Amino acid sequence: MNKEKQECIDFLKNTLNKGDTIYTQLYKKTRNGTIYIDLRYIKDNSPFTITYHYSKIMEHKLDKNNFNTIRQRFGNMDMGFWSVYNLCHKVWDNGYYCKHEWL
């Protein structure tokens, strides 16, 4: 595992607690169902973006043409939940470690 990926995992482990909510925000949706989302959390009444951390941990490129968001192709399911579940599974080995909500 590269150093940058490990630093992102360590950051999330030190920042988020079990049961915290990771929010997904939809920026764009195409006709074929592809969505562009941003991932955030709220601490001390302030929002923080973790889209970059997601991209490094999940080895998923940021879409620079669409606000540095995560592009998820249509998967016939709630792709926001899917993204958060997979991130939590990768970081904590528990897909339900954090909750998910849409903004």
Query: What is the number of structural domains in the chain?
Result: 1
pLDDT of residue 90: 97
- pLDDT > 70 fraction of the chain, expressed in percent and rounded: 99
pLDDT of residue 77: 80
Question: What is the residue-averaged pLDDT of the chain?
Answer: 94
- The domain of 69 spans 3-102
Counts for the chain of helices (H) and strands (E), in that order: 3, 6
pLDDT of residue 1: 77
pLDDT in tens, 16-61: 999 999 999 999 998 888 899 999 999 999 999 999 999 999 999 9
- Helix locations, the chain, DSSP H: 3-15, 51-57, 79-92
